[in-house]
Structure 1
Amino acid sequence: MIPPRAGAFQRRVQAGWLGEAVAEGGTVVLCQVLSGMGGVGKTQLAAEYARMAWERGRESGGVDVLVWISAGSREAIVAAYAQAGADLCGADSGDADQAARAFLAWLQPKPGARPCRWLVVLDDVTDPAHLRGLWPPASPLGRVLVTTRRRDAALTGRGRVVSVGVFTEAEAVAYLTQALSAFGRSEPDGQLAALARDLGFLPLALAQAAAYLSDTLLSCAGYRALLAGRKGRLADLVPEDGALPDDQRATVAATWALSIEHADTLRPAGLARPMLHLTALLDPNGIPATVLTSQPALTYLTENRTPTSTGTSHLPDRVTAEDATLALRALHRLSLIDHAPATPHIAVRVHQLIQRATRDTLTPTRHDHLARTAADALTDAWPGIERDTGLAGALRANAAALTHAAEDALYRPDAHPVLFRTGRSLGEAGQVTAALTHFHRMAQAIYHHLGPDHPHTLITRSNLARWRGEAGDVAGAAAALEELLADMVRVLGPDHPDTLTTRHNIASWRGEAGDAAGAAAALEELLADVVRVLGSDHPDTLTTRSNLAYWRGEAGDVAGAAVAFEELLADVVRVLGSDHPDTLTTRHNLAGWRGEAGDVAGAAVAFEELLADVVRVLGSDHPDTLTTRNNLAHWRGRAGDAAGAVAALEELLADSVRVLGPDHPDTLTTRHNIAYWRGEAGDVAGAAAAFEELLADRVRVLGPDHPHTLTTRHNIAYWRGEAGDAAGAAAAFGKLLADVVRVLGPDHPHTLTTRSNLARWRIRATIDKPTDS
C-alpha cells in the first residue's frame, strides 16, 4: 500500500532530482537515499515517485513490480519481503526468512527470462543494521529508494543521497493557502508567511497547524500568539492523535522521540539527549562548537547522562570534549541536528521546533538550571579579546536566543555575567545603539527581578550611562552617573570599587562634555582614594592614571601628558606584562601625545612599531588593530605625507568594511579621515564632496545631533570655504553653530571652534566680495 497523497501536496525540486537520477550521465542510479529530519515530507516524495513509476508501466522510467515496505524494524522488512516472495514466486509464507530470501533471489535477472523492471521502496529505515543481508541485489532492471532520518555511511554509501529539507517560503505559503481553502478558510498572505516562519517551514508542522486552525476556527494571528507564548506546550497546539490529517501517526512534538531514543544508544551512550537539551536553548541558526565542548557543557553532560540498559558503571567518570563531539555526531546521524565541523562558529544547527519540543519535556526547575548552564557555557567560550569578529557575532546571537527562551532564569538568583558580556560585546563591535538598547532593556528587567539597590542593578545603570554617552548624549551620561553615584555611596559605601569606578566615569564624561580641566581635577582627587583603597599597582589605579594623563593633555598640558604616559608605561609593563591590551593602549596614548607635543615623526615611528605588536597579540582584524592603522596614517599625514595617509586609509577602509561593516562608527571615521587628508593633499573639491556623502550616512547611523555628525558638518563647511565658496562656508557655520550650542552647550571647545571658524569665513566672504571702484 503506497501512502495516499497528502492534501495540498506540493511538488518540490527533490521530486525532479529523483526522476533525473534514473539515468544520470547515461548510468542508471540503482539506489537513492532520501535523507532528512522527521517531518520534512520524505515519505510523500517517495510515494509520489513510486506512483509515477507505477503509472508509467512499460514506458521509460516505469516499473513492472513495485514493492512498498514500511521499514521501521528488521521484522517488518522480513515480513514484507516474505509476503512479496509468496505473491511473486509462490514461496512458503510460513517460513518468513526462507520466503524473504526467495524474493531477493527473484529480483536477480534470469538468463532468457522476460525482463522485469522493479522498484523497492524502503520507507523510514530507522537503523542500518536492520538491512544487513537484506539489501535488494544490484540489477540493471531494478531500483531501490530508501527514506530515512539516518545519515550513517552504511546507508548514504549505498547510492545517491538526496537531502530533503523544509519547504521554501513560497511552498509553505502555497501549502497553507490550499490546506485552509479546503476547509473554506482564508488568511492574509502576510500572516501565512509569518506563520510559516514561526513553524520553521516544516511540512508536518504546517499540516497539523492548518488542521488545528480548521478545527478550532482560530485565526492565524491568534495561533501565532499562542505559539509565541513561552508557557504553552507545542503538543497542545496541534490536533489530538486521532484527529491528525493525512493519516499521520504522530504529532509534530512526538515525531522526534524515537530518533532521540536511537541517538542515545549510539556511542557514547546516553549523551545525545542531554546534548540536545543544551542546543534547545541556543541559536537554531548556528551554535559555536566551543560552546558545546566548554567545561560547563561537559560538566552538564557528565551529570545528566541518560541511563542505558547496560548501566553506566563501565563509563568514564568525566565526559571529554571528544565525547561531546561524538554526541553531536550521533544527533547528526539521526537528523536531529546538522553538525558541520568545517564551520566551527556555526557548527550546530537545530530546527526551532525540535528545540521547542525538547524544551517542553523539561520541568521548570530543570529548564532554569539548563539555562544557567548554557549561559555558563557561552561565558566560558567567549574570549576576553574578540580577535575573531565572526565568533563574537555568533556568541551574541546565541546569547540573544538564550535570553529569548529563558530570560527569567538569567536573573535568578542574580544577573548572569553573559548578559553584561553581550552588551559590552555589542558596544565594542561598534553597535553602540544596540548596546544602549540592550542595557536599557536589561535595566528594566533587573529592576523587576532584583530591585533598585542590588549591586547588579547599579552596575547595569552604569553600563546604560556609558553607552548613552557613546551614542552621543554626553551630558545625559554625566547626569545619569551623578545620580548613580549617590545610590552607590548609600548602598555600597564610598570606598567600594564600583563607587570609585562611577566617580572615574563621571570625570571622563565631564571631560567629553567639554570640561577637560574639571575632568583632570576630579581624576586627581580620585587617584588618591584609589591608591589608598586598591593599592598603587591595581589595574584600576593604572587606568585612573591613564585617564588623568589624557585629560591633562586635553586641558592643554600636552608635554605633561606625554611624560605621565611614559611613567605609566613602565608600571603597566611591570604589573600586566608587555603584551597585555592595557599595555598596548598605553603605548598608543604615549605615541599620540608625543606627536601632539611636537615629535610628529617620532609618533609615526612609534605607531609603526606598535602596529606589529598589536597584530601579533590581537590579530589583524581586531578593532584595536584597525584603530592603530588609522592613527599611523594620521601621523604620517601630520609628518608631511598627506598622499601616503590617503593611500593607507583607503586600504584600511576596505578592511574596516569587511570586518566591521559599512555602518560601523570606526568605518565612518576612516571615511572621515580619508576625506580630510584628501583635502590636505590638494584635492579640496574632492574632500568637500566626500564629506557631503559621509554626512548622509552619519545622520542615518548616528543621528543628526551626534557629535561626530556635527564634526562632519563642520568639515563640510570648512572645505567648502577652502574650495572657494567663502560665503557658503560662513552660512554653513552659522547654521551649525546653533545646533552645536543646543547639543554641546555654549562653552564646549567644539562650540568655541565653530564660532571661530564662523568669524573667519565671514571675514573671508567680505574680503572676497566684489566692490565698486
Structure 2
Amino acid sequence: MVGLGGAGKTQLAAHYARTVWQSGALDVLVWATAATTAAVITSYAAAAAELLGSPAPTESEQAAAAFLAWLEPKAGQRSCRWLVVLDDVTDPDHLSGLWPPASPTGCTLVTTRSREPALTTGRRLIPVGVFTPAESLSYLNAVLASHHLAEPDDDAAALAHDLGHLPLALAQAVAYIAELADVGMNCAQYRQLLSSRTTPLGDTAPDRRPDGQPEAVAATWALSIERADALRPAGLARPMLQLAAFLDANGIPETILSSTPARTYLAQYRTTHANTPSAADVPTPPAGSADDPGAADHQNVRPVPERYAHMSLSALRRLSLIDYTPKTQGTAVRVHQLVQRAVHDTLAAPQRYAVARAAADALLATWPDIERDTALAQSLRANTTALAICAEDVIYQPHAHAVLYRAGRSLGKAGQVTAARDYFRRLTATTTHRLGSDHLDTLTARHGFARWRGQTGDAAGAGATFAELLVDMVRVLGPDHPQTLDTRHHLAYSWGQSGDAAGAATAFAELLEDRVRVLGPDHPHTLGTRSNLARWRGEAGDAAGAATAFAELLEDRVRVLGPDHPHTLTSRNSLARWRGEAGDAAGAATAFAELLEDRVRVLGPDHPHTFNTRANLAYAWGQMGDSVRAAMAFVKLLEDTVRVLGPDHPSTLITRETLAEWWGEAGDAAGAATALAALVHDMVRVLGPDHPRTLTSRKSHSRWRRQADSGQTDDRPTRVGWKALMIFLLSLA
C-alpha cells in the first residue's frame, strides 16, 4: 500500500490484520515497524522467540533468519497460515535479505510512502490516496456519532473539502470539535477558525502533496495545539509538542520528555491561564555564551514538576496530536511526521535554536552511564539521529552538542565498534564542513574515529590516525594543551595494542615527564599515565617491575583520591594482576577477592569493573590449579554479562572465550572446541574476520580441536556437568 503520509495506510493495514485474525483465517500474525533494518530484525527476532521457543537463537540477526526459515513451506508438514505486516518502509534496501518467503498460505503486507521500482516491481501495488468526498463524509459522521454529535452533511462535506480530504487532518479536526462540543463548537465554526488562521502547508508532508491539496492543514494542527495548550497545566502542551517534533517520530522514551532539561524548557511557558506565549516571548540564545548557549538562559528557571510533563503529554493525546502509551518504555510517545513538520514550520530561528538545544540537553541528561537497557540505548541513539537530521543547522552552532559524541560512544559501548568507527568518521566530515578542520569539535571527532578504529582491531591504523591528529593538535592547541597530551596518551596505547609494548612504555615515560611539568605529580591524568607506563612495562616482560610500580601508584592514589575512588580500585586490580603474572597466584587471588568486596560495595554488582575483577579472580583460581572452580566462576560471570551487556558485547565474547579455555583445562577438550567453534562464528559476525580477538579465538579453537582429536584427556576428577555446561553456553550463542 503506497500513499501520502497521513493518508491512513497504517490504519488500513491494522484493520485488515485485525479482521483476518479475528475471523480465524490466520495461525500467525507478525507486525513489524519497518522504518529501519534494525527495527525489522528486532520484530522478527521477537517472533522467533515466541514461535520457536527455547531453540530460538538469542542473537537478533540469527533469530530473524530462523524466523524467515520457519515461514518457508515444508513438504510433509501442516501448512501455516501467516500474515507479516511491514509498516512504514522508507527504503527498499532496509528489507534486503529480510523479505518473507513466497508461500501459498502466507501473505506480506507493506505500507510505504515510497514508489521506488525496487520496492514495488513484481508486487501488487495498492495506491492509498486521500479520502473521496463520500468517505470523508462517512468518516466525519461516524466519529461525531461516537461522541453523540451530529452535523449537517453540507457542513461536514465543506470541512472535508477545506482539509483536502486528508485522513490525518480530518482526525485532528473532529477531535477538536468533540473536545469543545459542549461550548458550541461545530463544523461551521471550525471552518471559520481555519479561514482566519490559515497557514501555508508548504513542505509539511514528507512526500509531494496531491494536486489541489489546500493550505489549510497546518491551521488544523494549530487549532488542536492551541486547545491542548489550554488544558491543565496551561501553556505546556505546545512546548512539549515542540520538543517531540525534533525527536524520533517512531518512538520517544518518556524519560526524555520528563527529564530536568525538558521540564526546565517547559517552565518558561508555564501560565496560570489559557494564554500561550508568542514568538516574541520565546527566549533567544544569550550572546557570548562560552559553553552551551542553549543552557545559560535556563540557569535561573525552576523546572516544572514531573507530573506536569505527563499531564501535558496526556493533553496532546486527547487532541490526537500524539500517540502516548506510558507503559511502553522506549517508545512511549509517537508523533506523525506531518505534525512534526507543521510544528517546525511555525518556529522562528530563535525558537528553533532554543527547542533543538533543549531537546539535545534532555537526551544527554537521560543517557545512563551504564547502558544496561539495550532497547533504551538504541532508542536514545535513534532520537539523537532524528534530532541531528532535522536540526543540523542549529545543533552544530556555535559548537557541536555533546549528545552527538555521546551517541557515538554508545554505539561502541554496545559492542558495535565498527558502527562507532563509521559514526565518528561521518561526524568528523560534518564538523569539518560546518565548523572547520581546526575547530576543537572536529579534532574531538577525529579522536573518536581513531579510538574506535583501534577497537575494531586495526591498532596500526588507529596509531597512524592518532599520529596525524597529534600533528594538528600541536599546531592548533599547542604541545601542552590537555587534549594534545591526551592524544599522545592514545597514540602510545595504540603502539602497545599493535604489539610494541616496549615502544608504548617509552612513549608513556616521555609523556609522564610532560604531564608532571604541566599538570603536576598528583593530577589524575598524571597518575593515569603512571598506570599505563607500569602496564606496558609489564607487557614488555617486566612483571615484577610492573607490580612494584603499581604498588607505589596505589599509595599515591589512596592519598590523592581516597581508598574508594574508582581509579584507586583500578590500581588495586592492576597490582593484583601483575603480582599473579610475577608468579604469586595465591597472593593475586587473595587480593582480587578483597577487591571484589569493595567494588561491589562502591560500584555495585553489575558494574563492568566489578565484572572485570570477578574475571581476574576466576583466572587466578585457574592459575592456582583449580580449573573447575575457574570454569564455574566464568559460567556465572557469563550469565551476568549477557544480562547486563548483551550477548554481542565484546566483554561477553571475551568471557565466553575464557570460559571455554578453562573448560578445556578442566578436562573436556571436545567441549572447549565446540564452544569455541560457536564463538568464532559470532566473533566474525560482530568483530569481523581479521579482528585480533577473532584470530585469537580461531587459534584457541584449533588447539583444543587438535587435542580433542588426538584423544588427550585430563584424568583429574571434575565437579561440574560439562554436558550441561555446553548446552548452556551454546544457548547463549
Q: TM-score if structure 1 supplies the norm length?
A: 0.62
Residue matched to 1:148: none
- 1:649-669 Cα offsets, whole Å, 9 max, x none, are 223333333333332222221
1:276-303 deviation digits (Å, cap 9, x = unpaired):
1011111234333443233432332233
Q: Give me the whole-angstrom Cα distance separating, in 2, the residues matched to 1:236 and 1:344.
A: 30
Cα 1:50–1:261 shift into 2, 3 Å: closer
User: Which residue number corresponds to residue 550 of structure 1?
Assistant: 535
The equivalent position to 2:228 in structure 1, one of 240, 259, 263, is 263
- Show CA shifts across 1:528-563 (max 9, x none): 110111122222112111111111111112122222
* Aligned-residue CA RMSD (Å): 4.1
Instruction: Give the structure with higher Rg (CA).
Output: 1
Counterpart position of 1:708: 693
Tell me how far apart the structure 2 counterparts of residues 255 and 263 of structure 1 sit (CA, whole Å). Answer: 13
Picking from 276, 289, 300, the partner of 2:241 is: 276
8 Å CA contact 2:231, 2:274 repeated in 1: no
Partner residue in 1 for 2:623: 638
- Residue correspondence of structure 1 range 175-186 to structure 2 within 5 A: none
Specify the alignment match of 2:94 in structure 1. Answer: none
CA distance in 2, matches of 1:435, 1:636: 36
Mapped pair 1:239 → 2:210: yes
- Structure 2: segments with no counterpart, 5+ residues: 1-7, 25-128, 153-172, 185-201, 279-299, 712-733
Q: Deviations for 1:52-92, whole angstroms, at most 9, x for unmatched residues?
A: xxxxxxxxxxxxxxx975969xxx76x88xxxxxxxxxxxx
Q: Distance in 2 between matches of 1:501 and 1:712?
A: 32
- 2:410 aligned with 1:439: no
Residue 319 to residue 660, structure 1, CA distance change in 2 (3 Å) = closer
- 1:578-597 matches, within 5 Å, as 578-597=563-582
Change (3 A) 1:600 1:254: farther
**Residue 454 in 1 paired to residue 439 in 2?**
yes
Q: Percent identity?
A: 57
* d(CA) in 1 for partners of 2:231, 2:423: 41
Q: Which one of 304, 308, 328 corresponds to residue 320 of structure 1?
A: 304
1:569 and 2:554 are equivalent in the alignment: yes
Residue 392 of structure 1 aligns with which residue? 377
1:702 and 1:427 mapped to 2: Cα distance? 11
Tell me, yes or no, if structure 1 residue 370 matches structure 2 residue 348. no
Q: 1:238 to 1:232 in 2, by over 3 A?
A: closer
Asked if the contact 2:176/2:227 (under 8 Å) is kept, the reply is no
CA deviation map 1:367-404 (0-9, x unaligned): 23322221122223334454655543432232122122
Tell me the secondary structure at the aligned position of residue 232 of structure 2: coil
Structure 1: distance between partners of 2:23 and 2:700: 65
Q: Go from structure 1 to structure 2 and tell me whether the alpha carbon gap of 1:462 and 1:9 turns closer, same or farther (over 3 Å shift).
A: closer
Structure 2 vs 1, CA of residues 44 and 665 (structure 1 numbering), >3 Å: closer, same or farther?
farther
Query: Matched residue of 2:317: which SS?
Result: helix
Opposite residue 682 of structure 2, the aligned amino acid is D
Q: TM-score under structure 2 normalisation? A: 0.66
Q: Is the 8 A contact 2:205 2:337 kept in 1?
A: no
Which one of the candidate residues 653, 671, 683 is aligned to 2:638?
A: 653
- 1:444–1:643: structure 2 CA closer, same or farther, 3 Å change rule? same
Amino acid paired to 2:417: V
- What one-letter code is carried by the residue in structure 2 that aligns with 1:268? P
Say yes or no: does 1:627 pair with 2:612: yes
Alignment match of 1:492 (pick from 473, 477, 482): 477
Structure 2 residue identity aligned to 1:680: E
1:684 shift after superposition:
1.3
**CA distance 1:652–1:488, change in 2 (3 Å):** same
Q: Answer yes or no: is 1:482 the counterpart of 2:447.
A: no
Matches within 5 A, 1:711-726: 711-725=696-710
Relative contact order: is structure 1 or structure 2 higher (C-alpha 8 Å, sep ≥ 6)? 2
What does the per-residue CA deviation read over 1:311-365, in whole Å, with 9 as the maximum and x for residues that have no partner?
889xx97441333332223223333234444455544333333323322322344
For 2:243, give the aligned amino acid.
Answer: L
CA contact (8 A) 2:258 2:309 kept: yes
Question: Against the structure 1 CA distance between its residues 235 and 439, is the aligned structure 2 distance closer, same or farther, given a 3 Å change threshold?
Answer: closer
Alignment CA distance shift 1:342-1:622 (3 Å): farther
1:386/1:622 contact within 8 Å kept: no
Of 641, 647, 650, 1:665 maps to 650
Q: Which moved more, 1:591-600 or 1:489-498?
A: 591-600
- The Cα of 1:126 is off from its aligned counterpart by 4.2
In structure 2, what is the Cα distance between the partners aligned to 1:664 and 1:319? Answer: 37
Separation in 2 of the partners of 1:46 and 1:408?
A: 42
Distance 1:616 1:351 in 2: 46
Write the distance in 2 (CA, Å) between the matches of 1:520 and 1:123: 72
Residue 535, structure 1, aligned to residue 520, structure 2: yes
* Deviation sequence 1:410-467 (CA, Å, 0-9, x none): 2221221111122222222222111101101011111111212112222221221111
1:301 alignment counterpart: 266
Inter-partner Cα distance in structure 2 for 1:344 and 1:625: 27
Could you list the runs of 5+ residues in structure 1 that have no partner in the other structure?
A: 1-5, 21-38, 52-66, 81-121, 134-230, 727-773
3-state SS, counterpart of residue 723 of structure 1: helix
Report the residue type matching 2:210 in the other structure. P
